[in-house]
């Protein structure tokens, strides 16, 4: 089981944690949402809870609740700038389909 960051994503997360002034890393998960089933959740992780796994890439930690590992295993989180837009990009090999608006996915 693994979740990895691109160098660009790691730099962005580190910058946001430094700006915030505290944090262990990024907390990544999924929730039931939309017409396809799931949506990604992103938050700061301030401490490690029981039932969570930690993955580290480029010195940045990603915390995932164990119940979300099946949906997120193999995910590569990228951060990209396209024109004036910039956002995290989820490259998830488990996704079998997405809704038309791109807000939810199925595994």
Average pLDDT over residues 45-60: 95
pLDDT: which is higher, 105 or 73: 73
Give burial (CB, 10 Å; 0-12/13-18/19+) of 72.
buried
pTM of the model: 0.84
pLDDT at 106 over 60: no
pLDDT of amino acid 35: 63
Structural domains in the chain?
A: 4-106 (2.60.300.12)
Average pLDDT over residues 9-30: 95
């Amino acid at each position: 089981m693994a979740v990895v960051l691109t160098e660009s994503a790691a730099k962005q997360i580190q910058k946001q944690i430094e700006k915030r002034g505290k944090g262990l890393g990024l907390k990544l998960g999924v929730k039931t949402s939309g017409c396809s089933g799931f949506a990604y959740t992103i938050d700061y992780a301030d401490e490690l809870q029981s039932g969570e796994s930690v993955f580290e890439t480029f010195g940045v930690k990603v915390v995932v609740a164990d119940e979300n590992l099946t949906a997120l295993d193999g995910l590569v989180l990228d951060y990209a700038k396209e024109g004036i837009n910039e956002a995290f990009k989820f490259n998830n090999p488990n996704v079998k389909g997405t809704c038309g608006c791109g807000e939810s996915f199925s595994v």
